[in-house]
Amino acid sequence: MNNFIFAKIKTNKMSNKSTENNSNNEVDLIDIFNRIFSWFGKCLKYFYHTIVKSIAFLYHNILIISLSILIGFVASYILKQSEKPLYKSEITFRNNAISNADMISYFNQLGSLIGKKNSQIVSSSLLITENEASDLIGLSSFWIIDINKDDVPDYVDYKNKHNPADTVNVRMSDRFVVEVSSLDPLNLNNIKTGLIRYAENHPLASNANTQRIKRLNELIERTNIDIQELDSLQKVKYFEETRSRMSEAGQIVLLQEQQTQLFYRDIQNLISQRQNYERELALYPDVVSVISDFLPSSTRVNTAFYYSKITVPLAFFLTIILILLVKNRKRIVEVLNKY
């Protein structure tokens, strides 16, 4: 009896402890949520006071800040007038011989030489004068992206951020863009001719293009033979079927001509293939072909707006720092005197 009472008391104590633990857990969760909400409230309050103080600071110093912005615009205009005009334009090539990756890498090597100011090597590579080569400031080649794989160019990957593993939006394999920056836009025509010659001097492109043209001519010749043979076969077949329709009395028996009709469709398909081969041979005989040429009037890059994106924010932040230093000069002097 005593053991039964002792066990019952022990069980009650354990249940009380478990109840206390559960209540403690509930209290801990409530406390955690209260602290989270309190932290968010303090953050919102801090941001609110910061925004209000910032607006008040800008309002009280609106004249000085406006003057600094005006100085930034004036500085950008002065920089525009002091610098030589820089023009940028782009040309789109169709790559006919080798892979796009190899050709883009090949053109980027030329861009690296231009960036290092190797005017003599650039001049000999493009077969242009050294003055025209020295006017070249930059050259970069970029992939063209096709969205949804519909064989329609959608945009140029200027920032080289496209993921090659993307199977929906893919890089076009037959064309690329070359962007050129030059001090003289009149040189673009000679630069275009030089870029075509530079592509032809690729170690593999010339031989690959020769093999491509040879293969196209062979395909055209083989297609012509197939058309002639199929046409002859059609005539023989038609003659045999016509003769089989004649009865002994000389009367014609009307039969279906389904088998004979099939030859016309086969011949048309072969003619269509031959036209495609001839079209590629006529339109794209070189290593690269120009799809979109340089614009006749290229736009100037280093305009006043171009410099203002740097000078205006710089003048603004320098003015803010100067105002804060002037208003807190006493505290700054006290801190400096301590050391």
The tally of domains found in the chain comes to 2
- CATH number for 118: 3.30.1360
My answer on whether 214 and 237 are in the same domain is: yes
My answer on whether 196 and 238 are in the same domain is: no
Residue 10, pLDDT above cutoff 80: no
DSSP 78-121: HHHHHSPP-EEEEEEEEE-SS-HHHHHHHHHHHHHHHHTT-HHH
My answer on whether 93 and 178 are in the same domain is: yes
**Within 10 Å of residue 101's Cβ, how many Cβ atoms?**
14
Per-residue confidence (pLDDT) for residue 312, from 0 to 100: 92
If phi > 0 it is left, if psi is from -120 to 50 it is alpha, else beta; for residue 332 that is alpha
Confidence of residue 254 (pLDDT cuts 50, 70, 90): very low
My answer on whether 198 and 108 are in the same domain is: yes
Per-residue confidence (pLDDT) for residue 227, from 0 to 100: 84
My answer on whether 201 and 235 are in the same domain is: no
Per-residue confidence (pLDDT) for residue 81, from 0 to 100: 87
My answer on whether 195 and 135 are in the same domain is: yes
pTM confidence score: 0.69
Per-residue confidence (pLDDT) for residue 265, from 0 to 100: 80
Mean pLDDT of 170-187: 91
Percent of the chain topping pLDDT 70: 81
Whether residue 107 is contained in a domain is answered as yes
Q: Is 180 exposed, middle or buried (0-12, 13-18, 19+ CB in 10 A)?
A: buried
Last residue within a domain, chosen from 182, 206, 230: 206
Q: Supply the range of the domain harboring residue 238.
A: 210-287
Closest CA to 111 of 127, 94, 133: 133
Please state, in angstroms and rounded to a whole number, the distance separating the CA atoms of residues 33 and 165: 43
Does residue 75 contact residue 307 with C-beta atoms inside 8 Å?
yes
Q: Express each pLDDT in 289-326 by its tens digit.
A: 999 998 866 678 888 888 888 999 999 999 999 988 88
Per-residue confidence (pLDDT) for residue 114, from 0 to 100: 93
My answer on whether 130 and 174 are in the same domain is: yes
Last residue within a domain, chosen from 154, 180, 206: 206
> Pairing mode, if any, of strands 299-300 and 170-182?
unpaired
Q: Express each pLDDT in 75-88 by its tens digit.
A: 999 988 888 888 89
- Which one has a higher pLDDT value, 146 or 16? 146
Whether residue 8 is contained in a domain is answered as no
